[in-house]
Structure 1
Amino acid sequence: MKPINYLQTDPKWANIDYSAKGEKTTIGKSGCGPSCMAMVIATLKNKNVTPKDTCAWSLSHGFKATNQGLIIVILLHRVRLMIYQ
């Protein structure tokens, strides 16, 4: 199995908004956790998952910490769910 490699700074998604309430940031600046999550899911389960998808998921579920990144416990939970479903 060949690992999928993503960079949060990839121009395909680096400038996409990844802001929690009260902040203004992008995937390129704050999307390291979701980018890692996307690599694991894309490698093990669904090659079509990208950092854009995992950032959108974390925002829609309230797992983006203001002025920080992804809440790491959620990262682990999401990866487990995606791989074992």
Structure 2
Amino acid sequence: MFHFTISVGNFIVKLCYVLSLVGAVIYGIGLMSIGDILVGLIGIVAGILLVILAFYLLFIIIDIRQQLVNLNAKLDKKENKENL
């Protein structure tokens, strides 16, 4: 059950990542059609970099939270042993 949830969660994250990248490219192509080609290329590069940065920061925040939860569990176990 837990493994199934993780695999579905990974699929959803990968899907969101790919759709965000596709959205950044479509945004750049839209800028190319409205204005100059250079503006569109800058839009594509900036969009891709922002998507990568956003997901990188998201996973850093998730990792820090998980480490804090693990540390709290270790401290609780240690405190319970001392109370006995």
The TM tier, using the shorter chain, reads under 0.3
Q: Tell me the TM-score normalised to structure 2 length.
A: 0.27
**Structure with the largest fraction of helix:** 2
Q: Pick the structure with greater CA Rg.
A: 2
TM-score, reference length from structure 1: 0.27
